[in-house]
């Protein structure tokens, strides 16, 4: 959600902080601020609105702000208090001796605020984060590390924080519990951030803090401790993508760039993981032998949003290929409803960022209940990856746009490989396995074919951009694609869109069909197509415009629709990917025509690290 950047070292801090904030803009935010420290004290500048506005302010200033070598910065996504300049970070303690930036939620902030008000403290904002600044300062007696340590022992909730003190110029103290913090190790300098994209310009060597870690940083010296255990050692890891991977590369939007990166991203995901000779998948990260795979009697997939939609496709594939029960749970529900899981179940957590709060909580609940737990994530070193110690990295590269595209299709491709792996350990023959493996290897080629129709999809989008509502329908494997298509459209175009199983139309939604309610129907060849065609006829009979996603050359499906988007012929289990890509392009072009902020949709954040 919110973005944190901190710097201490040999160079001027302000350009590094502003650059880092710009890299974090994709996370979604409503205000931004910066603070620097020197021998003369702490100087803070902040405002509601975009980082560009903040940059204009600070770049016009000389003196301490421009010359300081230590500072912190933040982009805020409002939780407690509206998006105003006063609520923007950084926040000061009551006397201005301590300043901090904070991601997360301090759940006992009201009790702490009342305590400090009774002591005569004055608060300038409505935020829980300012309360934390007052708490740290109340413990400060010349040692910032000790003050933060003492304060955090009184805190209930989640946090990723970076702190400075007026009396300790050149020192940063950072800590995390439930909200990510990464420390970039440079040459006589250290860069702190909530996301590796903010540090990759300066270094690829990074330390990812664990929950309850707290670190004192001065120049290149990093001293990490645990709130509970004292000094700890954290091994640096290398960020495996270049700074250029997080740039637009000539595209109008990150989302469009990432849509067009999907053939390469999916190729990277499946590279080295398909064994055509044995007709199986090589997924060493699962660390499971065929005998151990056979012992798994049920697969539970947990995720949120797009990751949950990918999981639904995985459910279909695992049951279809391997004939073992598979279920998908919304991660927050899994945590709070006391799920029934055991040692013969495998829980697979799916999260692009590896930091999703609800999914992380589900992982911890599954571990507590004695289940085998694995992760499917895109970010090396992320919390979910570390806490499961078993799973698969997507290797899809950084995804900057808030609306997920290449992560989704890479997740689906990986889930197909997982289903194949399970199936070969059960009853699937080598010949059938080889056939499925070849189809999985074809997926990048299928996506390439859809991308070549981008101009045609743009033309189709022009016919649907003026509607304010839409239905997406599908059956079988196409049902989760309908859910994902509706999610993409509502995320970036602000059109109210709903995804339904096609059979559900007559159980209520059909009452809304009229000329102003278009239906996007997934009609590509496969089981259930004839039934969905009948549903399309019902839509047309009620004057609803119909856009069909059809298999190339299917004239019957074409004739049933007002407009069509064609995808290549392939089995339905692999057609989910080109169909999803077609709907991504449709949503993108509709949002572009409507003039929406495609990469940073209102109210949304890329990584949901608080409940």
Q: Which residues are catalytic?
A: 2, 606
Residue 389 CB partners (closer than 8 Å, separation 6+)? none
124, with CB counted inside 10 A (0-12, 13-18, 19+), is exposed
- 559 Cα distance to chain centroid: 39
CB atoms under 10 Å from CB of 295, counted, come to 14
What the block records as the tokens of 65 is 């702000």
407, with CB counted inside 10 A (0-12, 13-18, 19+), is buried
The backbone torsions φ and ψ at residue 358, rounded to the nearest 5 degrees and listed phi first, read: -65, -40
Q: Give me the residue label for tokens 């934390």.
A: 132
What the block records as the tokens of 319 is 């049951």
DSSP state of 502: G
553 DSSP β-pair partners: none
Long-range contacts of 13-16 (CB under 8 A, 24+ apart): 13/68, 13/69, 13/70, 13/71, 14/58, 14/65, 14/66, 14/68, 14/71, 16/191, 16/202
Q: Which of 452, 483, 457, 477 is nearest to 568 (CA)?
A: 452
566, with CB counted inside 10 A (0-12, 13-18, 19+), is buried
Helix and strand numbers, DSSP H then E, in the chain: 21, 27
Please check whether residue 1 is in contact with residue 77, taking contact to mean a CB–CB distance below 8 angstroms: yes
* Strand bridging mode 496-501 / 469-474: parallel
What the block records as the tokens of 605 is 């954040």
Please check whether residue 210 is in contact with residue 234, taking contact to mean a CB–CB distance below 8 angstroms: yes
What the block records as the tokens of 217 is 């940083």
The backbone torsions φ and ψ at residue 349, rounded to the nearest 5 degrees and listed phi first, read: -95, 130
Helix (H, G, I), strand (E, B) or coil at 257: helix
Q: Which of 331, 379, 54 is nearest to 194 (CA)?
A: 379
**Cα Rg, the chain, nearest whole Å:** 25
What the block records as the tokens of 108 is 């006992």
DSSP state of 412: H
Q: What share of the chain is helix, strand, coil (3-state, %, to 5)?
A: 40, 25, 35
Q: Which of 392, 411, 407, 378 is nearest to 312 (CA)?
A: 411
| Beta strands in 356-477, from DSSP E residues, in sequence order | 372-377, 391-393, 469-474
Task: Report the chain's terminal Cα–Cα distance, integer Å.
Answer: 11
């Amino acid at each position: 959600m919110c973005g944190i950047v901190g710097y201490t070292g040999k160079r001027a801090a302000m350009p590094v902080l502003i650059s880092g904030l710009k890299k974090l803009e994709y996370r979604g935010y409503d205000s931004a601020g910066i603070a620097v420290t020197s021998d003369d004290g702490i100087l803070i500048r902040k405002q509601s609105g975009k980082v560009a506005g903040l940059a204009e302010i600070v770049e016009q200033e000389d003196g301490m702000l421009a010359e300081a070598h230590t500072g912190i910065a933040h982009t805020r996504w409002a939780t407690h208090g509206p998006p105003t300049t006063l609520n923007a970070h950084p926040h000061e303690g009551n006397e201005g001796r301590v300043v901090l930036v904070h991601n997360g939620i301090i759940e006992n902030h009201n009790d702490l605020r009342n305590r400090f008000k009774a002591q005569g403290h004055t608060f300038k904002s409505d935020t829980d984060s300012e309360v934390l600044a007052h708490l740290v300062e109340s413990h400060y007696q010349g040692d910032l590390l000790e003050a933060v340590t003492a304060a955090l022992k009184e805190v209930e909730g989640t946090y990723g924080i970076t702190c400075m003190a007026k009396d300790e110029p050149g020192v940063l103290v950072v800590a995390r519990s439930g909200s990510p913090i990464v420390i970039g190790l440079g040459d006589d300098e250290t860069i702190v951030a909530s996301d590796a994209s903010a540090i990759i310009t300066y270094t690829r060597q990074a330390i990812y803090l664990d929950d309850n870690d707290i670190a004192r940083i001065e120049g290149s010296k990093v001293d990490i401790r645990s709130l509970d255990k004292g000094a700890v050692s954290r091994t640096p890891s290398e960020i495996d993508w270049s700074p250029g991977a997080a740039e637009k590369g000539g595209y109008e939007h990150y989302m469009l760039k990432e849509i067009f990166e999907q053939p390469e991203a999916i190729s990277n995901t499946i590279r080295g993981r398909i064994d055509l000779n044995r007709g199986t998948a090589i997924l060493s990260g699962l660390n499971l032998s065929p005998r151990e795979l056979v012992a798994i009697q049920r697969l539970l997939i947990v995720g949120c949003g797009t990751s949950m939609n990918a999981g639904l496709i995985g459910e279909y594939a695992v049951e279809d290929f391997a004939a073992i029960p598979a279920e998908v749970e919304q991660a927050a529900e899994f945590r709070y409803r006391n799920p029934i899981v055991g040692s013969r179940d495998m829980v697979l957590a799916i999260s692009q960022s590896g930091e999703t709060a609800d999914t992380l909580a589900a992982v911890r609940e599954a571990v507590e209940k004695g289940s085998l737990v694995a992760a499917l994530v895109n970010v090396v070193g992320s919390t979910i990856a570390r806490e499961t110690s078993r799973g698969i990295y997507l290797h899809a590269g950084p995804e900057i746009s808030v609306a997920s595209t290449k992560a989704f299709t890479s997740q689906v491709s990986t889930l197909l490989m997982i289903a194949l792996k399970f199936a070969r350990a059960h009853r699937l023959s080598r010949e059938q396995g080889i056939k499925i493996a070849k189809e999985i290897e074809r997926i990048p080629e299928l996506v390439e074919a859809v991308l070549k129709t981008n101009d045609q999809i743009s033309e189709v989008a022009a016919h649907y951009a003026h509607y304010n509502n839409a239905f997406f329908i599908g059956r079988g494997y196409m049902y989760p694609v309908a859910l994902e298509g509706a999610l993409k459209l509502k995320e970036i175009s602000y059109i109210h869109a709903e995804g339904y199983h096609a059979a559900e139309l007559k159980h209520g939604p059909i009452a809304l069909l009229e000329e102003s309610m278009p239906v996007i129907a997934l009609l590509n060849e496969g089981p259930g197509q004839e039934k969905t065609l009948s549903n399309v006829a019902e839509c047309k009979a009620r004057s609803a415009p119909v856009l069909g996603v059809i298999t190339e050359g299917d004239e019957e499906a074409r004739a049933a629709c007002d407009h069509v988007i064609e995808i290549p012929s392939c089995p339905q289990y692999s057609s989910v990917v080109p169909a999803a890509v077609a709907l991504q392009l449709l949503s993108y072009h509709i949002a572009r025509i409507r003039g929406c902020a495609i990469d940073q949709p209102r109210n949304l954040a890329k990584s949901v690290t608080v409940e």
